[in-house]
């Protein structure tokens, strides 16, 4: 088992006391594709960041279990966490333009990650970087390696982010809305690429998304989060038959070309959904 979370709770200080943003989340991830869906603010990204211990210092994190491959994340030293972050678990963020250093070339960015985790000379690192750019299906990787982040498209920037995360040969990949800033055609290409790489390398994948149809086609299992807690977990192939009214409401809000509607459904929230 790569990741194990049991009864995770994340709180932040406010003038009136601590606010609990994640409440009792539990999950297990092996060599499979797990999707986490839900609205903005439901706690999806916080859960993933807690696993990598990437939350701000004021956050209060509590859990019965928070482990990566047997390593207790809550008690691990910073040195142990550096051996996990990036090296054993890669984290693809939403928008490459905020994540790529604008004053370094693409080749230098990928080579830097490779050298950090694997050592070697600058020449070896650059050769490895170009090979990684080829693996993520970037045409003319030698030219792109000399380019800077502002000179490439959003889709290519996301491919570069994936190449950086793959450089240390991680065992798990966390993808936080990896296609949110891309058009539909590029989205499909990036997802196919991630799927191929995950299958070829035998990695576990944690995919965070708002897109229910995408997750249902791409993942093995789906967790649905609402107001900081998991309200439903089921096989991705069964998502269209979900039982929880929140999941049903989200599905009903999706426009359909085969079933045109004058007005889309609106989610009617029940206060009971926020309570265990």
Dmax (CA) for the chain in angstroms is 62
Q: What is the pLDDT of residues 63-105, one digit of tens each?
A: 999 999 999 999 999 989 988 988 899 888 877 777 889 999 9
Residue 229's pLDDT is: 94
On whether residue 179 sits in a domain, the answer given is: no
pLDDT at 172 over 90: yes
Q: What is the pLDDT of residues 205-239, one digit of tens each?
A: 999 988 888 888 889 999 999 999 999 999 999 99
On whether residue 207 sits in a domain, the answer given is: no
Query: What pLDDT band is residue 261 in, cutting at 50, 70 and 90?
Result: confident
Specify the CATH number for the domain of residue 73: 3.40.50.300
Query: What pLDDT band is residue 276 in, cutting at 50, 70 and 90?
Result: low
On whether residue 91 sits in a domain, the answer given is: no
Answer yes or no: are the C-beta atoms of 59 and 12 closer than 8 Å: yes
By CB atoms closer than 10 A (0-12, 13-18, 19+), residue 140 is exposed
What pairing do the DSSP bridges indicate for beta strands 65-68 and 221-226?
A: unpaired
On whether residue 265 sits in a domain, the answer given is: yes
Cα end-to-end span (Å), the chain: 26
On whether residue 259 sits in a domain, the answer given is: yes
Q: What are the start-end ranges of the H helices in the chain? A: 44-51, 78-84, 106-118, 122-135, 141-145, 154-166, 184-201, 212-218, 245-252
State the DSSP string of 31-65. Answer: SSEEEEE--TTSSHHHHHHHHTT-S-TT-EEE-SE
Report the candidate in 118, 201, 213 with the shortest Cα–Cα distance to residue 162.
Answer: 201
Query: Which residue is associated with the tokens 């206060």?
Result: 271
On whether residue 272 sits in a domain, the answer given is: yes
On whether residue 148 sits in a domain, the answer given is: no
- 38-65 burial, b if ≥16 CB within 10 A, otherwise e? beeebbbbbbbbbbbbebeeebebebee
Number of domains in the chain: 1
Report the candidate in 121, 123, 122, 141 with the shortest Cα–Cα distance to residue 132.
Answer: 141
On whether residue 65 sits in a domain, the answer given is: yes
For residue 238, give its domain range. 1-79+217-276
Instruction: Find the mean pLDDT for residues 141-147.
Output: 95
Round the CA-based radius of gyration of the chain to a whole number and report it. 20
């Amino acid at each position: 088992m790569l990741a194990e979370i049991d009864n995770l709770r994340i709180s932040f200080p406010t003038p009136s006391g601590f606010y609990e943003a994640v409440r009792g989340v539990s999950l297990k991830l092996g060599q499979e594709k797990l999707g986490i869906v839900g609205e903005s603010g439901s706690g999806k990204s916080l859960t993933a960041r807690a696993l990598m211990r990437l939350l701000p210092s004021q956050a209060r994190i509590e859990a019965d279990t928070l482990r990566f491959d047997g390593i207790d994340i809550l008690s691990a030293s910073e040195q142990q966490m550096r051996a996990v972050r990036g090296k054993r678990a890669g984290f693809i963020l939403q928008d490459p333009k905020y994540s790529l250093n604008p004053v370094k070339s693409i080749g230098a960015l990928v080579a830097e990650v490779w050298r950090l985790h694997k050592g070697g000379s600058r020449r070896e690192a650059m050769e490895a970087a170009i090979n990684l750019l080829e693996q993520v299906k970037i045409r003319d990787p030698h030219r792109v390696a000399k380019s800077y982040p502002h000179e490439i498209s959003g889709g290519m920037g996301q491919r570069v982010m994936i190449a950086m995360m793959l450089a240390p040969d991680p065992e798990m990949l966390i993808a936080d809305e990896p296609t949110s800033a891309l058009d539909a055609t590029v989205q499909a290409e990036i997802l196919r690429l991630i799927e191929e790489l995950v299958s070829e390398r035998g990695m576990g994948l944690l995919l965070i998304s708002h897109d229910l149809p995408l997750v249902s086609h791409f993942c093995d299992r789906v967790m649905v989060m609402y107001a900081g807690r998991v309200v439903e977990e089921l096989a991705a192939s069964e998502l269209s038959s979900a039982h929880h009214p929140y999941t049903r409401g989200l599905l009903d809000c999706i426009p359909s070309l085969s079933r045109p509607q004058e007005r889309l459904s609106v989610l009617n929230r029940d206060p009971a959904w926020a309570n265990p």
